[in-house]
Structure 1
Amino acid sequence: MTAAPYDAIVLGAGAAGLMCAAVAGQRGRRVLLLDHADAIGKKILISGGGRCNFTNIHTAPDRYISANPHFAKSALARYTPADFLALVEAHGIAWHEKTLGQLFCDGSAKQIVAMLMEEAAKGGVTILHGQPVHEVVHGADGFGVTFGERRFTAPALVVATGGPSIPKMGATGFAYDLARRFGLKVVEPRPALVPLTLGGDDLLFRELSGVAAPVEARAGNAAFREAALFTHRGLSGPAILQVSSYWQRGDPVTIDFLPDAAPGWLVEAKRARPRATLASTLAPLLPARLAQTLADRLALPGELAAQTDRKLVDAEGRLKRWAFHPNGTEGFAKAEVTVGGIATAGLSSQTMMAKSVPGLYAVGEAVDVTGWLGGYNFQWAWASGYAAGQAL
């Protein structure tokens, strides 16, 4: 059965796909939005603990990772956090700001999905879901998509199917396979915003599972000051998830356990409390189990008075740049997003259209643009979806 043609077919009813379809539909385009999942916006629904961290007020291009760090500038400038917040408020959705500029719904992420569905309805968007995409072809009549038992055609096709992170939600590498078929390059995808696993000499720290502390974590030139969490497999928590996007296999992750400590603080502690031990000195500053483990690893037994100033300065240095050597990550199953994706070199930063395939667009996580933790990836979804929706 061949359905009536549309102006555009959008594959993927996630954040970017919904935004793109709604914007194009409200511009008078006849849009068909297709998704293989049994529900619309599944990743939106689980985000932010079910409250959807829908944007970040500190959004800026330097908070995104891409082979081309300039690519995101155009879209982010043309659809800002303030623009999305205005839409949220127009729909009467109550929100609040948490730490570091993160904006959440007071109620439920379901409100964001409902809002996007309503915006799509205003644009007359046809939404079909719950069937697989069997085939995508490109010919004289534009793009043909076989969805379930039906075939649809349109002169424009938008790839908004995301990356392979969280496969239990139905995520796949479909976007990359499709891009390669059309001759577009793909930057090798890897898990991002993902817990790191430890082995070898770091195995001891897995015994601290459940212990968290505010730290500054660093991988390469990237540093984040938030909480780190020890797990039964390694390291997690916001600071670790952030640096995981920058971490390269074989490199260390360094942690400053006392980022507010002034140089020489341990020597000063010896002067003030010479009979104290290193463990008892660390105890008021860190969770007890962590303090004891660090003291044990630093191997400065007895009272502080028994230690030379040199040894104490060395201990300070270790606590400031404690090197962990992750042996991997917990993979796409636990990754919130994906680093890599459809190469931006083949896309227009203004419209998100493929330079070599007129009418083919890619938006959201499918593209090689990955934001920090805390609402940045949603803002990229809204901005890139808006850019494509305006161009269709």
Structure 2
Amino acid sequence: MPTSYDAIILGAGAAGLMCAARAGQRGKRVLVLERAEKPGKKILISGGGRCNFTNIGAGPTNYLSANPHFAKSALARYTARDFLDLVESYGIAWHEKTLGQLFCDSSAKQIVEMLLEECAKGDVTVRCSEEVTSVAHGDGFAVTTQTGTYTAPALVIATGGPSIPKMGATGFAYDLARQFGLKVVEPRPALVPLTLGGEEVLFRDISGVSAPVVATANKTGFAEAALFTHRGLSGPAILQASSYWRPGEPLFVDFIPERTAEWLMDAKRGNPRSGVRTQLREALPARLADILADKLGLDGDLGNLPDKALRSAGERLKRWTFHPNGTEGFAKAEVTVGGISTAELSSKTMQAKRFPGLYAIGEAVDVTGWLGGYNFQWAWASGVAAGDAL
């Protein structure tokens, strides 16, 4: 096989394969090097094996970054509809779940097969089980693996972030970026369960209980389900909020999003002989209701409790304060917040401003989407941006 190419892409994940297909179909000679034994491993496990491949409402406001404007260009030029058109052109059946999330009807394998077919159309070479031992830059880039040294004038970093290390994820992208003098925004786990300690440990006793809530961190709230676990808090609402939460900060949970803070006062007028615990059990799962009732410490009939106490209880239920003592870390994080600084990259091409020929795309970059297909859409859009520029 040849050792010289127009572009070498490190990583055969969503962003890397998309970039390779795009560049290959433009006539570029492209080599993709993947450390794992097969391409698209994270794609295959996503969405419970059905791949939440995009979100029909994806836009710049659904992403976290030190520069919230950076993602606008790529997302505008390659939209969720564009990717859906590609999916449909392959006859892949799909369905929409809640909040614009699009999934394969059958299997995530179809998305990987589609991307590999797109690569084949561009005569892209994809090599798996390739461990990169060094990357040098002289007259172009030289990438050495256990099988040899490959050269190209362009190198694309598409190796993702350190989330889900059991899938082989590492911080290699950041090491490489630093090697070439690019700044890295400190990575931290995102879309990750939060852990509870201290007096809040008792909530672990209701592991497996879930309820619809609004979870808020740093003034950003998400209305979805929360799930209590044997270590703390999880579920979509918590995972979403975790991306905005920082250690030492509180997390606020509205346990009664469909009701007002005056709800118990209204109940008192309608049924004064009912108790707080009874009302909570009507609104929430019984085991959760009992813990909250114990914490509120209001016993007896509603009719015997002052309005002030009932309003205070209602306000507390609308903004229950948790103090997580940490997260479950990169091992349980779906993605990474932080990464290669967007200040180093062109938002149009993903090329490093101070290092021509070097590109970074996908999760390796400091752009992190919400839960629900947004991170895949960033992979497709950033991959296309770089693939069109190579």
Q: TM-score, normalised by structure 1?
A: 0.99
Name the CA distance, whole Å, in 2 between partners of 1:26 and 1:173.
Answer: 30
Name the CA distance, whole Å, in 1 between partners of 2:81 and 2:57.
Answer: 11
Structure 1 residue 26 and structure 2 residue 38: aligned?
no
Matches within 5 A, 1:77-88: 77-88=76-87
Aligned position for 1:314: 312
Structure 1 stretch displaced more, 147-156 or 358-367: 147-156
Asked if structure 1 preserves the Cα contact closer than 8 Å seen for 2:260 and 2:314, the reply is no
Q: What are the ranges of 5 or more consecutive residues in structure 2 without an aligned counterpart?
A: none
Aligned position for 2:121: 122
Name the CA distance, whole Å, in 2 between partners of 1:148 and 1:279.
Answer: 65
Deviation of the 1:292 alpha carbon: 0.9
Matches within 5 A, 1:239-250: 239-250=237-248
Does the residue aligned with 1:172 lie in a helix, a strand or coil?
coil
Name the CA distance, whole Å, in 1 between partners of 2:100 and 2:177.
Answer: 34
Aligned position for 2:111: 112
Aligned amino acid, residue 316 of structure 1: G
Deviation of the 1:201 alpha carbon: 1.7
Does the residue aligned with 1:36 lie in a helix, a strand or coil?
coil
Structure 1 residue 336 and structure 2 residue 334: aligned?
yes
Asked if structure 2 preserves the Cα contact closer than 8 Å seen for 1:206 and 1:230, the reply is yes
Structure 1 residue 89 and structure 2 residue 68: aligned?
no
- String of CA shifts for 1:267-298, please: whole Å, max 9, x gaps: 11111111111111111110010111111110
Aligned position for 1:181: 179
Aligned position for 2:13: 14
Asked if structure 2 preserves the Cα contact closer than 8 Å seen for 1:3 and 1:150, the reply is no
- String of CA shifts for 1:81-102, please: whole Å, max 9, x gaps: 0000000000000000000000
- String of CA shifts for 1:240-293, please: whole Å, max 9, x gaps: 000000001111000000011034211111111111111111111100101111
Name the CA distance, whole Å, in 2 between partners of 1:371 and 1:391.
Answer: 23
Aligned amino acid, residue 94 of structure 1: A
Which of 369, 373, 376 does residue 374 from structure 2 map onto?
Answer: 376
Asked if structure 2 preserves the Cα contact closer than 8 Å seen for 1:8 and 1:30, the reply is yes
Runs of 4+, deviation exceeding 2 Å: none
Name the CA distance, whole Å, in 1 between partners of 2:301 and 2:55.
Answer: 47
Q: What are the ranges of 5 or more consecutive residues in structure 1 without an aligned counterpart?
A: none
Deviation of the 1:182 alpha carbon: 0.1
State the identity %. 71
Aligned position for 2:206: 208
Name the CA distance, whole Å, in 2 between partners of 1:126 and 1:167.
Answer: 26
Name the CA distance, whole Å, in 1 between partners of 2:43 and 2:235.
Answer: 20
- String of CA shifts for 1:13-57, please: whole Å, max 9, x gaps: 000000000000000000000101011100000000000000001
Aligned amino acid, residue 273 of structure 2: R
Does the residue aligned with 1:113 lie in a helix, a strand or coil?
helix
Which of 151, 154, 160 does residue 153 from structure 1 map onto?
Answer: 151
Deviation of the 1:131 alpha carbon: 2.3
Asked if structure 2 preserves the Cα contact closer than 8 Å seen for 1:3 and 1:151, the reply is no
Q: TM-score, normalised by structure 2?
A: 0.99
Deviation of the 1:4 alpha carbon: 3.3
Name the CA distance, whole Å, in 2 between partners of 1:76 and 1:23.
Answer: 16
Asked if structure 1 preserves the Cα contact closer than 8 Å seen for 2:261 and 2:318, the reply is no
Which of 377, 380, 387 does residue 389 from structure 1 map onto?
Answer: 387
Which of 298, 303, 307 does residue 305 from structure 1 map onto?
Answer: 303
Name the CA distance, whole Å, in 2 between partners of 1:107 and 1:59.
Answer: 23
